[in-house]
């Protein structure tokens, strides 16, 4: 949630940010009008309360002077004012709820370095890494590679839960486990993250704090009986571990990493990428989350991106880093980089990681604070990034490292996690 004082001081800046992010549900004018009405109501309430206090003081004086009849008359005035105050307080509460509801739809303001554009066409390539492999044969798409190897069974996954729920078999399942264990080890042992094992189900306050609610509710899987959501990313539970807390300033920054299963309806992507595992409803992901001081949060974002790049480089996968435009970044983000890995079988780049700085937007919703050296309580800045998401990394691995005989030779860094095995061979 944005700072209400920022909205009051610079409403035009907020309007421009809403326009740049193409947030159709955000109504800055309405938020400003309701806020003005709330402030006016609060002022009237305070004026009424002061008048009542004056009357109550007068009643006490009259009682001490034994002027009972006059005191009773003033008491009646005081009671009437009391009723007005109750009505004004109720109106102020109603306006405050309306104001908060209006603010909930206003996105985080993009950082000044973010390119302004209507959609993904305005994204800017920041850098590229790796050489594109040339094949002496026509590379197959991952769904054909996976089928020949007997490690990916899309039909049986669909039989169990419907489309978008892949089934990994044998070496495929082992590859998933190896990737997770390797990525977690790198983040913990080299990048300084503290490992967490988090719930994969969350309540409304948790989903609200990270910005999934109210805007993205239709994208979530909801367990109606319990009023709980299946998480779309470990960002959600990890960011919320410090909700409603004040952290000692000398303990910042705090870095956490967590593996989780993730669930997304992909409601807005009907008909896209229906083959294979490029776009699925259930997938595994390792997440990196940072809680930092505001002063250095954008430097922390660059280091976060570097942590994700390290993994892609060690896997030997060609990738590019994109700075997302205002029209393509998320509701809660102030600045986002996407890491897209090249998949030669399908002939396109696929997002394997998204790294964002949310500034104090999530912290304000979640009331996540720290106490600085002067004793002042301030909001932290939160950041998160995929490190990495499994499905598209697996797509890139299968398609990049496939051989003419149908086998796949995996990168050396994964082999200790695969019992020393280097190659997955077709089932005969």
Q: Return the CATH fold of 4-103.
A: Helix Hairpins (1.10.287)
pLDDT in tens, 157-211: 999 999 999 999 999 999 999 999 999 999 999 999 999 999 999 999 999 999 9
Query: Shortest CA distance to 252 belongs to which of 387, 371, 386?
Result: 371
Joined together, the tokens standing for residue 80 give: 């009437």
Do strands 228-230 and 221-223 pair parallel, antiparallel, or not at all (unpaired)? Answer: antiparallel
- Residue 125: strand, helix, or coil: strand
pLDDT in tens, 340-368: 999 999 999 999 999 999 999 999 999 99
pLDDT in tens, 52-68: 999 999 999 998 888 88
CA torsion through residues 257, 261, 267, 269, sign: positive
Span 215-233, average pLDDT? 96
Q: What does the H/E/C string look like for 211-237? A: CCCCCCHHHCEEECCCCEEECCCCHHH
Ranges in the chain annotated CATH 1.10.287.40: 4-103
- Per-residue model confidence (pLDDT) at position 269: 59
DSSP states of 292-324: E-GGGHHHHHHHHHHHHHHHHHHTT--EEEEEP
- Per-residue model confidence (pLDDT) at position 271: 62
Task: Using pLDDT thresholds of 50, 70 and 90, give the confidence band for residue 383.
Answer: very high
Report whether pLDDT(70) > 80.
yes
Task: Using pLDDT thresholds of 50, 70 and 90, give the confidence band for residue 156.
Answer: very high
Question: What pTM was computed for the model?
Answer: 0.94
CB 392 within 8 A of CB 352: yes
Give the up-direction half-sphere exposure of residue 252: CA atoms within 13 A in the CB hemisphere.
Answer: 26
Report whether pLDDT(267) > 80.
no
| CATH class (in words) of the domain with range 120-424 | alpha beta
Ranges in the chain annotated CATH 3.30.930.10: 120-424
Report whether pLDDT(270) > 70.
no
pLDDT in tens, 283-342: 999 999 999 999 999 999 999 999 999 999 999 999 999 999 999 999 999 999 999 999
Which residues lie closer than 8 Å to 301 by C-beta, 6 or more apart? Answer: 335, 337, 355, 356, 357, 383
* Average pLDDT in the chain: 96
- Per-residue model confidence (pLDDT) at position 268: 58
- Per-residue model confidence (pLDDT) at position 391: 96
pLDDT in tens, 71-104: 889 899 999 999 999 999 999 999 999 999 999 9
């Amino acid at each position: 949630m944005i700072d209400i004082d920022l909205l009051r001081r610079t409403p035009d800046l907020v309007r421009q940010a809403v326009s740049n992010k193409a947030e159709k549900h955000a109504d800055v004018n309405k938020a400003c009008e309701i806020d003005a009405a709330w402030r006016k109501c609060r002022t009237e309430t305070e004026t009424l309360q002061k008048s009542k206090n004056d009357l109550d003081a007068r009643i006490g004086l009259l009682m001490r002077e034994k002027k009972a009849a006059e005191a009773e008359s003033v008491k009646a005035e005081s009671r009437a004012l009391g009723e007005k105050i109750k009505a004004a307080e109720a109106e102020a509460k109603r306006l405050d709820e309306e104001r908060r509801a209006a603010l909930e739809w206003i996105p985080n303001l993009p950082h000044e370095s973010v390119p302004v554009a209507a959609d993904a066409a305005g994204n800017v390539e920041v850098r590229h890494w790796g050489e594109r492999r040339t094949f002496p044969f026509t590379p197959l798409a991952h769904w054909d590679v996976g089928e020949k190897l007997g490690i990916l069974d899309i039909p049986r996954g669909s039989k169990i839960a419907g489309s978008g729920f892949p089934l990994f078999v044998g070496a495929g399942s082992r590859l998933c486990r190896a990737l997770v264990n390797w990525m977690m080890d790198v983040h913990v042992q080299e990048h300084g993250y503290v490992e967490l094992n988090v719930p994969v189900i969350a309540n409304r306050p948790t989903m609200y704090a990270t910005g999934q609610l109210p805007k993205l509710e239709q994208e979530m899987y909801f367990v109606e009986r319990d009023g709980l959501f299946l998480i779309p990313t470990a960002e959600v539970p990890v960011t919320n571990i410090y909700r409603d807390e004040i952290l000692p300033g000398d303990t910042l920054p705090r870095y956490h990493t967590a593996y989780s299963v993730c669930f997304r309806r992909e409601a807005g992507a009907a008909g896209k990428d229906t083959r294979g595992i490029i776009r699925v409803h259930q997938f595994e992901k390792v997440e990196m989350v940072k809680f930092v001081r505001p002063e250095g949060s954008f430097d922390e974002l660059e280091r976060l991106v570097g942590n994700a790049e390290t993994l892609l480089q060690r896997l030997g996968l060609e990738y590019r880093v994109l700075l997302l435009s205002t029209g393509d970044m998320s509701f809660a983000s102030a600045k986002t980089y996407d890491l897209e890995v090249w998949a030669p079988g399908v002939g396109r780049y696929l997002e394997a990681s998204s790294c964002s700085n949310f500034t104090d937007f999530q912290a304000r919703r979640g009331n996540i604070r720290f106490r600085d050296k002067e004793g002042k309580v301030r909001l932290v800045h939160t950041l998160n990034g995929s490190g990495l998401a499994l499905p598209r990394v697996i797509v890139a691995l299968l398609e990049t490292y496939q051989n003419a005989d149908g086998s796949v030779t995996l990168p050396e860094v994964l082999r200790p996690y695969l019992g020393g095995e280097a190659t997955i061979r077709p089932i005969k």
